[in-house]
Structure 1
Amino acid sequence: MAHRIASLALAVVPCDAAAVTVPSASGRPALAATSPQAMQALRLPGGPGAGSSLADVGPVGHVHVRDTASDPRWRDWGRDVAMLGHRSVLVVPLSSRSGEPGRLDLYAEDPDAFDDEACLRATELGGLASVAIGVAHDRDGLRRALDARGDIGIAVGVLVERYGLTVDAAFQVLVRHSQHHNVKLRDVARRLVEEGDLPDEGSWEA
């Protein structure tokens, strides 16, 4: 699960590396990263993902460190991350039915590398990854987990039930459609929920 989330993050969000801590029902989180440097960064103490919760997330659903070398909030952590070659970081919390915290970290080599669209994609991916974690922990709770995630989760559920896809594959369908039509992922999901199917070519035009 952790490796799939990290690989998917690298494909969905423009970044140079990704690392994931996936909570588990056993209490021992699974760790995965797309590079050795990202794994080192994930294990560093004192950053925005330290402790039992991400207190700095706020209403936006993520922590955005525009420049690890100069951000005053986590000076020691930022210095160490910058030395690993990561100057921009996005940290997205992951939840689970077990209540144990997890997180998705995205790294970029350049300062201020994540724009608003990248932040949105990361946050949406974090929500869907949390759904997938919940499904893995309790497959009988699939409908409740998907319903709790709004239109994107419901749209994933529609594709899972209609076409027999996995949660990861259904989310990839939505992502590809979003990228192909240059439409936000949540708008693709809302269209599927409201109309029952993905739109044909050109139907996004006003």
Structure 2
Amino acid sequence: MPSTVVHVAFGALVATAFLREFDARALAAVCAFTALPDLDTFLGVWIHGGHRALLHTALLPLLLGAVVVWDGRRADSWLRDRFGARGHHVAGVGVLALTLGGIGPDLTTNGVNLFYPLHDQFYAFSGRLELSSTEGVVQTFVELGEDGDTARGTTETVHYWTGVDVKRGPDPEGAERVFPIVSSGLQLLVVVVAAAGVFGRFREANR
């Protein structure tokens, strides 16, 4: 599963692509948005099935995005008063990073409870898209039929292990706790590319 390090790397890539003014403060804000969903790792200790549901729902970026837009239309804008003219831009990039870097990687790896709490069902869009000379276009990302596995279960039946919460209910005494950093060569590459992108943007900003 993608670690918080990998999520933040995705967020940093979004920041390097979309931030107009690139500095440490703006980068930190965007990366904080990206890491936000992983806080439900800790909430899941007390709320069974809460990990990848409570803060991995698509309703979170929709709600935060609506708040940013609403605040931007107010004469006494909270973001503008505290963070200046670029406050709404940075927050908007943060919401985008939360969606693409905070929720997206988990949605394509094992799954998230995408519409929680309105609809309690974990979905995983992990598969392939290919062009076959005999079958034409083949995709396995969305398979909701009897043989499909896009739908993965509900908060009553699904538990994603973490180093914080090894299993549903009390963890076994002496259980091994693993905290992934990168779990594949592709994840390592994402982290390296993100670091290179951040370095490049800082170099350009300081010229």
Give the alignment's TM-score, normalised by structure 2: 0.31
Give the alignment's TM-score, normalised by structure 1: 0.31
Which structure carries more helix by proportion?
1
Indicate the structure whose relative CO is greater, using CA pairs within 8 Å and at least 6 residues apart: 2
